[in-house]
Amino acid sequence: MSNTTGQDTGQKPAYELLGLTAGEYRGICERMGREPNYVELAVFSLMWSEHCGYKHSRPLLGRLPTEGERILQGPGENAGIVDIGGGLAVAMKIESHNHPSAIEPFQGAATGIGGIVRDIFAMGARPVANLDPLHFGSLDKPRQRFLLDGVVEGIAAYGNCMGIPTVAGEIHFEDAYEDNCLINVMCVGLVRQEDIIRARATGPGNLVVLIGSSTGRDGIGGASILASAEFDETAEEKRPTVQVGNPFMEKKLLEACLEMRDKGLLVALQDLGAGGLSSSSSEMASKGGTGIDIDIARVPLREPDMEPFEIMISESQERMLAVVEPSREAEVMAVCEKWDLDATVVGKVTDTGRLRVFDGDEPIADMPVKALVDEAPTYVVEPRRPEHERDQPLPEDHYPQPEDLGRVLLDLLASPNVCSKRWVYEQYDHMVQTDNALWPGGDAAVLRIKGRRDGIALTSDGNGRRTFLDPRRGGRAVVAEAARNLSCVGAEPLAITNCLNFGNPEKGPIYYQFQQAVEGMAEACEALGTPVTGGNVSFYNESFGQAVYPNPVVGMLGLVEDTGRLGTHRFQNAGDLILLAGDARPAADGSEYQLTVHGEVAGRIPDVDLEGERRLQALVRRAVREGLAASAHDISDGGLACCIAESAIEGGLGAAVDLEALAGGARDGLRPDLLLFGEVSGLVVLSAAPAAARRLQEEAGDVPLAVIGEVGGDRLTFTGAGGPAIDVPLAAAADAWQNALERRMAP
Amino acid sequence: MAASPHTAAPPARFGVVIFPGSNCDADTHDAIETFAGAEGRYLWHKETRLDDLDCVILPGGFSYGDYLRSGAIARFSPLMEAVRRFAAEGGLVMGICNGFQVLLEAGLLPGAMQQNEKLKFICRLVSLKVENDQTPFTRRYRQGQVIQAPIAHHEGNYFIDEEGLAELEANGQVVLRYCDPEGEVTQEANPNGSLANIAGICNREGNVFGMMPHPERVCDALVGGTDGRGVFDSIIDSVRERSGR
Amino acid sequence: MKAKVYITPKAGILDPQGLTIERSLPALGFEGVSNVRVGKYIELELPDGEGAGESLERMCRKLLANPIIEDFEYELIEE
Amino acid sequence: MKAKVYITPKAGILDPQGLTIERSLPALGFEGVSNVRVGKYIELELPDGEGAGESLERMCRKLLANPIIEDFEYELIEE
Ligand SMILES: Nc1ncnc2c1ncn2[C@@H]1O[C@H](COP(=O)(O)OP(=O)(O)O)[C@@H](O)[C@H]1O
Ligand SMILES: [Mg+2]
- pLDDT at residue A327 in the model: 97
**Where do the structural domains in chain A lie, given as residue ranges?**
197-376, 401-431+567-747
Q: Is the pLDDT of residue A534 over 90?
A: yes
pLDDT of residue C10: 93
pLDDT-based confidence at residue A230 (cuts at 50, 70, 90): very low
Element (H, E) at A405: helix A405-413
pLDDT score recorded for residue A317:
93
Is pLDDT above 80 for A2?
no
Known active-site residue A97: yes
Tell me how far CA of residue B28 lies from CA of A520, B40, B94, B198, in angstroms: 46, 9, 11, 22
CA distance A373 to chain C (A): 44
A437 three-class SS: strand
pLDDT (tens digit per residue) in A26-68 = 999 999 999 999 889 989 999 998 888 999 999 999 999 999 9
Mean pLDDT, residues A350-367: 96
pLDDT-derived band at A310, boundaries 50, 70, 90: confident
**Nearest atom (ligand 1) to Cα of A417:** 17
In this predicted structure, the answer to whether residue B1 has a pLDDT above a threshold of 80 is no
Q: Which of D21, D24, D30, D37 has the most B C-beta neighbours within 10 Å, making it the best mutation to test the interface with B?
A: D24
- Cα(A569) to ligand 1 centroid in Å equals 13
Give the model's pLDDT for residue B2: 44
The protein residue with its alpha carbon nearest to ligand 1, atom 25, reads: A441
Contact B69 C20 (CB under 8 A): no
Residues 6 or more apart whose CB falls under 8 angstroms from that of A101 comprise A108, A109, A112, A147, A150, A151, A154, A181, A183
A77: Cβ below 6 Å to ligand 1? no
Q: What is the DSSP string of A517-579?
A: HHHHHHHHHHHHT--EEEEEEE---EETTEEPPPEEEEEEEEEES-TTS---S----TTPEEE
Pocket test for ligand 1, best of A158, A421, A647 (most atoms within 8 A of CB): A421
Which amino acid type is present at position A492?
A: E
Active site residue B97: yes
**CA of B70 to nearest chain D CA: how many angstroms apart?**
12
Q: Which chains touch C (3 or more CB pairs under 8 A)?
A: A, B, D
> Which residues, other chains included, contact A698 with Cβ-Cβ below 8 Å and sequence gap of 6+?
none
Of B239, B231, B211, give the one whose Cα is nearest residue B90. B239
Instruction: Give CATH for domain B12-243.
Output: 3.40.50.880
Minimum-distance CB partner of B65 among D20, D27, D28: D20
Q: Is the CB of A200 under 6 A from ligand 1?
A: no
Q: What is the helix (H) or strand (E) element at residue A247, kind and residue range?
A: helix A247-262
CB contact under 8 A, A244 and D68: no
Identify which of A252, A429, A434 has the shortest CB distance to residue B223: A434
Q: Quick one: average pLDDT of B160-168? A: 96
Q: Work out the pLDDT band at B5, boundaries 50, 70, 90.
A: very low
**Is the model more confident about A230 or about A469?**
A469
Interval A67-92: pLDDT, tens? 999 999 999 999 999 999 999 999 99
| Nearest-angstrom CA–CA distance, A144 and A138 | 7
Q: For the segment A468-518, what is each residue's pLDDT rounded down to a tens digit?
A: 999 999 999 999 999 999 999 999 999 999 999 999 999 999 999 999 999
| pLDDT on residue A721 | 82
Residues B71 and B217: beta-carbon distance below 8 Å: no
Cα(A23) to ligand 1 centroid in Å equals 45
Task: Report yes or no: D27 at the C interface, CB cutoff 8 Å.
Answer: no
Burial class of residue A747, CB neighbours in 10 A (0-12, 13-18, 19+): exposed
Residue A223 has pLDDT above 60, yes or no: no
Query: Torsion angle, CA of B107/B111/B115/B121, rounded to 10 degrees?
Result: -80
Check CB contact under 8 Å for B23 and A162.
Answer: yes
Cα–Cα distance between A384 and B235 in angstroms, integer? 70
**Which among A434, A448, A738, A742 is the top mutation candidate for probing chain B, defined by the most B β-carbons within 10 Å of its own β-carbon?**
A434
The pLDDT value recorded for residue B6 is 47
Q: Is A338 a residue whose pLDDT tops 80?
A: yes
Closest CA to B152 of B46, B43, B23, B33: B23
Taking contacts as CB-CB distances below 8 angstroms, the residues of chain D near A213 are 14
> CA geometry: angle at A549 spanning A548 and A551, to 5°?
105
User: A170 CA distance to ligand 1 centroid (A)?
Assistant: 4
Is ligand 1 within 6 A of the CB of residue A95?
no
Residue A11's pLDDT band (cuts 50, 70, 90): low
Chains that touch A (3 or more CB pairs under 8 A): B, C, D
| pLDDT value at residue A249 | 96
Q: Look over chain B and give the mean of its residue pLDDT values, rounded to a whole number.
A: 94
CA distance B85 to C5: 33
In chain B, the residue whose alpha carbon lies closest to the alpha carbon of A566 is B222
∠B190-B174-B62 over CA atoms, to 5°? 65
User: Any catalytic annotation for residue A569?
Assistant: no
Give pLDDT, residue D50. Answer: 81
Instruction: Return the bridge partners of A88, or none.
Output: A85, A192
- Min mean pLDDT across A228-237, B170-179, C25-34, C64-73 is at A228-237
Q: Left (φ > 0), alpha (ψ -120 to 50) or beta: where does A185 sit? A: beta
Measured between beta carbons, which residues in chain D are less than 8 angstroms from residue B67? 16-17, 20-21, 38
Return the HEC string of chain B. CCCCCCCCCCCCEEEEEECCCECCHHHHHHHHHCCCCCEEEEEECCCCCCCCCCEEEECCECHHHHCCCCCCCHHHCHHHHHHHHHHHCCCEEEEECHHHHHHHHCCCCCCEEECCCCCCCEEEEEEEEECCCCCCCCCCCCCCCEEEEEEEECCCEEECCHHHHHHHHHCCCEEEEEECCCCCCCCCCCCCCCHHHEEEEECCCCCEEEECCCHHHHCEHHHCECCCHHHHHHHHHHHHHHHCC
| Alpha carbon distances (Å) from A462 to A480, A594, A691, C63 | 11, 18, 37, 47
Mutation pick for ligand 1 pocket among A131, A170, A642, A649 (CB with most ligand atoms within 8 Å): A170
Q: How far apart are CA A266 and CA A331, in angstroms?
A: 11
Nearest to A201 by CA among A322, A373, A118, A294: A322
Extents of the domains making up chain B: 12-243
* CA B97–ligand 1 middle distance (angstroms): 27
pLDDT per residue as tens digits for the range D4-32: 999 999 888 889 999 999 999 998 888 89
Residues 57-76, chain B: which have Cβ within 8 Å of D?
A: 64-65, 67-68, 73, 76
Between CA A555 and CA A566 the distance in angstroms is 20
Q: What count of other Cβ atoms lies within 10 Å of the Cβ of residue A41?
A: 26
Residue B241, classified by CB atoms within 10 Å of its CB into exposed (0-12), middle (13-18) or buried (19+), is exposed
DSSP for D3-72? EEEEEEEPTTS--HHHHHHHHHTGGGT--S-EEEEEEEEEEEE---STTHHHHHHHHIIIIIS-TTTEEE
At position B25, the amino acid (one-letter code) is D
Residues 6+ apart with CB under 8 A from D42: C18, C21, C36, C37, C38, C39, D4, D5, D7, D64
Residue A8, pLDDT score:
57
Provide the residue ranges of all domains of chain D, joining segments of one domain with +.
2-77
Instruction: Please give the CATH number for the structural domain made up of A197-376.
Output: 3.90.650.10
* Reported ipTM: 0.93
Backbone angles phi, psi at D42, to 5 degrees: -120, 130
Q: Among all residues of chain C, which has the CA nearest to that of B101?
A: C66
Residue identifier of the C-alpha nearest atom 22 of ligand 1: A443
Q: Whose CA is nearest to atom 21 of ligand 1?
A: A636
- Nearest to A111, CA basis, from A190, A198, A208, A222: A222
Q: Pairing relation of β-strands A655-658 and A715-720?
A: parallel
pLDDT of residue B36: 77
pLDDT greater at residue A3 or residue B93: B93
Domain D2-77 fold is Mth169; Chain: A , (3.30.1280)
For residue A83, give the 3-state DSSP assignment.
Answer: strand
pLDDT class of A6 with cuts at 50, 70, 90: low
pLDDT tops 60 at residue A221:
no
Q: Is the per-residue pLDDT at A532 higher than 80?
A: yes
Q: Is the pLDDT of residue A1 over 60?
A: no
The pLDDT value given to residue A232: 40
- Residue to test with chain D: of B68, B70, B81, B105, most D Cβ within 10 A: B68
The model's pLDDT over A628-679, given as tens digits with 9 standing for 90+, comes to 999 999 999 999 999 999 999 999 999 999 999 998 889 999 999 999 999 9
Assigned CATH topology for domain A401-431+567-747: Phosphoribosyl-aminoimidazole Synthetase; Chain A, domain 2 (3.90.650)
Residue D74, H or E segment:
strand D70-77
User: Which of B65, B122, B223 is facing A436, going by the closest CB pair?
Assistant: B223
Confidence band of B228 (pLDDT split at 50, 70, 90): very high
Q: Sorting pLDDT into bands at 50, 70 and 90, what band is A747?
A: confident
Q: Is A430 in the pocket of ligand 1 (CB under 6 A)?
A: no
Average pLDDT over residues A293-309: 91
pLDDT at A556 (0 to 100): 98
Asked if residue A159 has its Cβ within 6 Å of ligand 1, the reply is: no
Q: Is the CB of A443 under 6 A from ligand 1?
A: yes
In angstroms, the CA A647 to CA A651 distance is 6
**Which is the closest atom of ligand 1 to the Cα of A481?**
23
Distance CA A571, CA A578 (A): 9
Q: Are A131 and A184 contacting, i.e. CB atoms less than 8 angstroms apart? A: no
Regarding pTM above 0.90, the answer is: yes
pLDDT for the residue numbered A114: 97
- Which position among B24, B97, B179, B219 bears the catalytic label? B97
Q: Inter-chain contact A161–B121, Cβ cutoff 8 Å?
A: no
